[in-house]
Structure 1
Amino acid sequence: MSLSTSSVIALHINGEDHELIVDHRTSLLDVLREHLGLTGTKKGCDHGQCGACTVLTNGRRTLSCLRLAVAAEGCDITTIEGLADGERLHPVQQAFLDFDGYQCGYCTPGQICSAVAVLDEQAAGWPSAVTRDVRPEAGQPILNADEIRERMSGNLCRCGAYASIVDAIARAARQDGENPRAEAGEAG
């Protein structure tokens, strides 16, 4: 009796459906980069420690190097390539440009995908380890520099662009005026 080590899977990525034959051991990261040519998502450590491979799966952060592609079937996956609306950048992408939230740029796609999820988590009222008032009636945590740093702690930047990254996320949080719980000012 021979067991197959590959399967046909259907993935929904950046609004498009893809049907692929993949080995069961293939990571979502490798499918994105090697099978679909979506090279914006970076392979950093390949151990889930740096965050360079962060994508959004059903709106939540996913380390694509740790997730098997077969386990992503049926999920809505968004990579850095899928955030912009045509030529119009996502507000987080624009803020990273405006505040120089990058240096070499290698970690930037993962940083941006993670930041998009951070803003959604905060807007939904999810507390972090540094949230002062975690009672449900407290509502959205205030998105200050400490909150941003804590929430982004799984994404590493070897160049050390952290101050600009925090400033960019703070700007994106207040950009449309719909986030009254985002603090203005420099990250410090």
Structure 2
Amino acid sequence: MGTTPGQRAWSQSPQAAEQRRLASQQAAAARAAAPKCGATRKSDRQPCENPGLENGRCRLHGGVTPRGADWHKVQMPGRGAPIAKLERKLRKIALRRAEQAARVAEMTPEERVRYEAWQRTHKPGTPAEREQRRRDRALATAFNTPPAAPAPDSEQEKLAVEIAELRKCKAALEELRREQEITGEDSINDR
């Protein structure tokens, strides 16, 4: 896909040159009007003159640092990024994981136990997700522990004694009724 002769003629015309000059001036004015990075340059200890991003820093001084829910996630190059950039990122991730594995391998058994305990208790996620996991653990513990036997209540004990006495009375009355039925039948048969 090349340019047509008409396109080449336009790009070399004075009108195109004037448009390029105006666009360059507008871009320079927008850059000058943009809020500056709040960092200090290491080279000459002067304020950084690059335009700042949302957090007040330029891309060189931490403006593209992940934040919010993605602070703990590896940030991959965006769509349309060169393949070389993706390959560098993948090599960097592999190198970081290898260094971490080497550090873990060099740990003493006591350090390894502490490290693994910390890894179990400090899972990544947003504060809300971590709080929800804490609540879920507390609920699971409460659900899996059997309820404690209720403390004896003096009123309940009195009621239990009264119920036992009433049952004895009921049993005695039923026995008396049965005896009367038997004796009543015998008296009818005797006539």
Alignment TM-score > 0.5, same fold: no
TM range (shorter): under 0.3
Between Structure 1 and Structure 2, the one with more strand by share is 1
Between Structure 1 and Structure 2, the one with more helix by share is 2
Instruction: Decide which structure has the larger Cα Rg and report it.
Output: 2
Q: TM-score, normalised by structure 2?
A: 0.21
Q: TM-score, normalised by structure 1?
A: 0.21
Higher RCO (CA-CA < 8 Å; seq separation 6+) = 1
